[in-house]
Structure 1
Amino acid sequence: MNATRQGQTAGSGRVARRRDRRKSEIVATAIGILSTNGYQGMNLEDVAERTDIAKATLYHYFRSKDELVGAALDVLTEDVLTRLAARAAETGDASPTALLGALVDEQVRILTESAPEVATVFSWPRPWPPAIQDAMKEMRRRHDTVFRQVVERGVADREFTCPDIDVAMQCLHGILNQSAVWIRPEGEDRAAARAAVVACALRLFV
């Protein structure tokens, strides 16, 4: 490769990195607005203003509000799944009970400490457009699978006595979703509160 082509390749690489950084900034801004105002309260004008770009420039990255919202939800989902996978990896060859407890603890930590915007965005009460609802169903299915696989393993190993996995999973998600209400950021002993939620959740299965 000659010097000219090397320079062109390096230049396009820098352009791509700048574009990725700006795109990430736009998505992060959208997440912040969604977590405080919900879907109905978010508009591209606010996103552009808070990201300090022209609205016309925003359309170079996302063609519509729904495309941007979809990207924001996907980032939140991938972040949660990555954190859960890392926590599962830390447990090694733990029993289903220990692994499920660790995953519940991590999910509660995410919702109440490390990424509380996940709780506010996914539990926003106002309706979402059909296309976004379909995407959210798939994201929730992927999230459910992380916990469901552990539960199914526990049942197969006869470590869990769970007569109806589907009902128990619905109850588990209810506990997880409500943890953001029960455990406040200003609470003095969040670790103890998380432990109490974990103990309650495990009673559904053990």
Structure 2
Amino acid sequence: MSADVGEGQPVKGSTRVSRRRDRRKAEIIKVANTVLADVGYSGMSLEDVAEQTDIAKATLYHYFSSKDELVAEALEALTQEVLRRLRAREEAVGEVPAREMLAALIDEQILILTETAPEVAAAFSWPRAWPEAFEEPMKDMRRRHDEVFRTVAERGIADGEFSVPNLNVTLQCLHGILNQASVWLRPEARSESSPELRADTVAAALRLFG
């Protein structure tokens, strides 16, 4: 009697196929975010994404059932990448006072918005025309992002490093500065040294916290 394949064991070759599918899906999501950054939700079409990914539109439907599903996954991928970068910066900085940690996170966020992932600014940093179905998911994405800064700010308040009458207002002002930084500090708009401008922006943002 031949042995049955054990429950939960992958069929030979299935892992390789899965990896190939995951790579292609990630490529589609990356292209979708580029298109979203260029033309927004209303200007984006699956035809554009398929063409730039060099696949047939019919093939695209093997990965995403609709434009909204693709956009939702693209926005979530952006959120996850931003959170990953912020966590990596926290780990690199290590155990430091809250003010130093907050300065590092603000600096990293500016880098993300202006150099490493400017599509984040296009998607999240100013109002754009989004269907109602995206309102709650995007609120949750913003909440998770805000929580990174809020946690450090709360530690600074508890340790006496920060004097903040209303943390919610202060964080809204901080995010406003970061959103504007994506315009002020983008490479094509500046003539001064990028590190110096970032440092000045970080210093200005920290003044919000006393």
1:163 to 162, 165, 175: 165
SS of the residue 1:113 aligns to: helix
Aligned residue type for 2:93: T
Give the whole-Å Cα distance in 2 for the aligned partners of 1:203 and 1:165: 13
How much is the aligned-residue C-alpha RMSD, in angstroms?
A: 1.9
Give the whole-Å Cα distance in 2 for the aligned partners of 1:161 and 1:124: 28
Q: Does residue 53 in structure 1 map to residue 66 in structure 2?
A: no
Give the whole-Å Cα distance in 2 for the aligned partners of 1:80 and 1:123: 13
Q: Which runs of 5+ in 2 are unaligned?
A: none
Paired positions, count: 204
Identity among equivalent pairs (%): 61
Give the whole-Å Cα distance in 1 for the aligned partners of 2:49 and 2:84: 26
TM normalised by structure 1 equals 0.94
The equivalent residue for 1:191 is 195
Q: Does residue 201 in structure 1 map to residue 210 in structure 2?
A: no
Contact 1:38/1:124 (8 A) holds in 2: no
Contact 2:36/2:123 (8 A) holds in 1: yes
2:104 to 80, 102, 105: 102
Note the 1:24-173 alignment, pairs <5 A: 24-123=26-125, 125-173=127-175
SS of the residue 1:38 aligns to: helix
Give the whole-Å Cα distance in 2 for the aligned partners of 1:60 and 1:16: 13
Q: Which runs of 5+ in 1 are unaligned?
A: none
TM normalised by structure 2 equals 0.92
The equivalent residue for 1:14 is 16
Contact 1:111/1:180 (8 A) holds in 2: yes
Q: Deviations over 1:98-133 (max 9, x none)?
A: 000000000001101111111012235432111212
